[in-house]
């Protein structure tokens, strides 16, 4: 994954993206800690996404915003030797983690903006986007690209986070950071920017997709202790971890103080237990 791939020969679809490719700080610097915080949460939603998208042996699957490979690695197992899985992402460090986890299995990874995909029309049976679409500067543009590269009848399956109060695992951290970084509120809240199920279904249809359904799905995420939770984002996991590490020492201490008091609500016998809601969106080309 060292060099961006120019895409297949004859590709005429790669545009020259204008403006930022991912809202706010990138996932680059926090890639190695990602799995300790968000990856463990993401992976609980993957089976439902792949079931809903009907990923079967032989399928050609594109995973957009593949990150450290949560959805792609399971898709690889499901498509078997007759299928193929390609992952694209803006972040090489995230994809390097995915490559290491794939450990020789045939997961192809390319650096690419999900809003400008380098394939001809109708190249895939399924396009997955697990917890990435809300960070696109133009999610509608991304969805239109997903539809374009799908064969007729192919499936888009995307998971996005619900509202901040229904995704408390990140929500408590977002709220604590927001107090120190009020000017970054919009950036911090991008995580929850597609949390309205009706609007998301309408966006899928506007992109030319059919039979759109958006289903709220809840999973329980457990950390063995408050320290395990705090340690994961203090290691710089994801965008929030990076924003935290960028704060002056005094503000970092204040964030931790606010956070520890907010986390008390989720403590059960020394562990932290969060019920988190994702929206599972599925539609056909």
Ligand X SMILES: C[S@@+](CC[C@H](N)C(=O)[O-])C[C@H]1O[C@@H](n2cnc3c(N)ncnc32)[C@H](O)[C@@H]1O
Residues of this chain that interact with ligand X (CB under 6 A) are 21-22, 26-27, 38-39, 42, 64-68, 70-71, 89-91, 94, 113-115, 130-132, 135-136
Considering the complex, state which of residue 53 and residue 258 has its C-beta at the smaller distance from ligand X. 53
Rg (CA), the chain: 18
Considering the complex, state which of residue 95 and residue 176 has its C-beta at the smaller distance from ligand X. 95
Considering the complex, state which of residue 123 and residue 130 has its C-beta at the smaller distance from ligand X. 130
CA distance 15 to 118: 9
Shortest distance in whole angstroms from residue 240 CB to ligand X: 10
Considering the complex, state which of residue 64 and residue 258 has its C-beta at the smaller distance from ligand X. 64
Shortest distance in whole angstroms from residue 69 CB to ligand X: 7
Shortest distance in whole angstroms from residue 138 CB to ligand X: 9
Contacts of 212 (CB under 8 A, 6+ apart): 201, 204, 205, 281, 282, 283
Considering the complex, state which of residue 133 and residue 258 has its C-beta at the smaller distance from ligand X. 133
Task: Name the closest residue to ligand X (Cβ).
Answer: 67
Of the candidates 268, 259, 150, the residue with the CA atom closest to the CA atom of residue 220:
268
**Torsion on CA atoms 52, 58, 63, 68, rounded to nearest 10:** 100
Sign of the dihedral defined by the CA atoms of residues 143, 149, 153, 158, in that order: negative
CA distance 241 to 174: 10
Shortest distance in whole angstroms from residue 225 CB to ligand X: 23
Considering the complex, state which of residue 89 and residue 125 has its C-beta at the smaller distance from ligand X. 89
Shortest distance in whole angstroms from residue 47 CB to ligand X: 13
Shortest distance in whole angstroms from residue 245 CB to ligand X: 17
From the CB of residue 143, how many other CB atoms can be counted at a distance below 10 Å?
Answer: 29
Which element (helix H / strand E) includes 173? Answer: helix 168-180
């Amino acid at each position: 994954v060292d060099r961006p791939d120019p895409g297949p020969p004859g590709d005429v679809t790669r545009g020259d993206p204008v403006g930022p490719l991912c809202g706010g700080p990138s996932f680059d610097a926090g890639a190695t800690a990602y799995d300790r915080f968000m990856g463990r949460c993401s992976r609980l939603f993957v089976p439902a996404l792949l079931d809903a998208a009907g990923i079967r042996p032989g399928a050609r699957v594109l995973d957009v915003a593949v990150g450290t490979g949560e959805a792609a690695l399971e898709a690889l197992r499901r498509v078997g030797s007759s299928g193929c899985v390609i992952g694209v992402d803006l972040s090489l460090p995230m994809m390097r983690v995915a490559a290491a986890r794939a450990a020789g299995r045939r997961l192809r990874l390319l650096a690419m903006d999900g809003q400008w995909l380098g394939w001809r029309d109708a190249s895939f049976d399924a396009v997955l986007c697990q917890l990435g679409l809300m960070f696109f500067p133009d999610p509608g543009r991304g969805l239109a690209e997903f539809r374009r590269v799908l064969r007729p009848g192919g499936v888009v399956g995307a998971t996005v986070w619900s509202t901040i109060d229904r995704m408390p695992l990140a929500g408590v951290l977002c709220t604590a950071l927001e107090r120190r970084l009020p000017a970054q509120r919009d950036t911090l809240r991008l995580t929850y920017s597609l949390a309205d199920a009706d609007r998301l279904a309408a966006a899928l249809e506007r992109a030319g997709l059919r039979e759109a359904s958006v289903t709220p799905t809840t999973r329980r995420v457990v950390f063995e202790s408050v320290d395990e939770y705090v340690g994961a984002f203090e290691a710089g996991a994801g965008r929030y971890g990076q924003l935290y590490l960028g704060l002056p020492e005094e503000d970092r201490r204040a964030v931790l103080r606010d956070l520890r008091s907010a986390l008390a609500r989720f403590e059960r016998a020394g562990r932290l237990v969060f019920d988190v809601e994702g929206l599972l969106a599925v539609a056909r080309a």
